[in-house]
Chains A and B, each alone.
Chain A
Amino acid sequence: MSLKRIFKLYRTMEMEDIILSFNGIVTADFLASVLHLMETKMQSLDETSKRKKKVFNVLVECIQNLYHHIDDDISLQGKTKKEPRTALIMVVKNEQGFLIQTGNYIERELALELEERLIKINSLDKEQLRDYYQSVLCNGTVSDKGTAGLGMIDIARKSGNKLEYEFLDIDENHCFFSLNVKID
């Protein structure tokens, strides 16, 4: 990256109110570090404990979603990506509140499943989401990874807003999944 672009990137992050940004391999250690970093950061912000907890909670769930579901190895257009298991994670704080944003490559087949789930979640109101959560909690099974299919429902409940997302076509077999979670 040229030196001018460093400044440009810095200005972009400043203008977009990005208070935390990470692009790299999502590991369990990384999760611990980013949460610690975020906790320290939140302590310095003049925020209610309720909102801090919400942001922290949603961030945990988003990162663990990435950790569990990100593909080990993605070959894009025949070329293997340099770093497998990488994702982008950003936290924005502006006048409206917080935004937690993530981005990662995903196989098209998984993207379709995920999109179906997101459409369903966004079609439900607060009470319906609660019922849905309870029914998945009761009837769902836990995978070997310790996931229970509750992550996105929980994120939607805690956020209290509709989940914004996009699947960009990358090649025949892959999409880029962007998620935007608002916390007022």
Chain B
Amino acid sequence: MENILREGSAKTPAVNFDSASGVLELKGRSIPENSVEFYKPLNDWIENYGANPKDKTIVDIKLEYFNTSSSKCILDLFKKLESLKTKGAEVLVNWYYEEDDEDMEEAGEDYQAIIKLPFNMIEVEEI
């Protein structure tokens, strides 16, 4: 299947979804007015990927910040990933946040509380 490789913009994150390695990365900021348009192809991709997932899928979330319109779409993305587990695939989420950025740390914890996937909270100097 085709990979998704998109550069980041002022309002949208860089995307690198690689079906061969099973590594899915979102990086940058996510603040579009209507996030559904941006995230729908990503969710569709995960659905297709789910037909034949890698034994281990790594999800790297390296977001500086995101708006509330994105937060719902990101939740849907995690829910899609959660469903890969029913196929016996392992899914691990690496949630990156910058030092002292409690808001992004808490945002990761919010998803952790809702989604039944293992989360690694990773503090870095700069995203």
Contacts and interface: CB of A to CB of B under 8 A. Distances in A.
Interface of A: 28, 31-32, 35-36, 48-50, 53-54, 56-57, 60-61, 64, 67-68, 130, 133-134, 137-138, 140, 142, 145-148, 150-151, 153-154, 157-158
A151 B68 CA distance: 6
A119 B64 CA distance: 30
A54 B10 contact: no
Nearest to B33: A28
A148 B113 contact: no
A36 B110 CA distance: 29
A48 B71 contact: no
10 contacts: A31-B33, A36-B10, A53-B64, A67-B33, A140-B72, A142-B36, A146-B33, A146-B34, A157-B106, A158-B103
A169 B32 CA distance: 33
A64 B69 contact: yes
Contacts of B122: none
B75 A53 contact: no
Interface in B53-103: 64-65, 67-69, 71-73, 75, 98, 100-103
Contacts, number: 77
A142 B75 CA distance: 12
B101 A148 contact: no
**Interface residue SS majority, chain A:** helix
B100 to A, nearest CB: 5
A142 B69 CA distance: 8
B71 A150 contact: yes
Contacts of B33: 28, 31, 64, 67-68, 145-146
Contacts of B101: 49-50, 53
A130 B110 contact: yes
B1 interface: no
B10 A148 contact: no
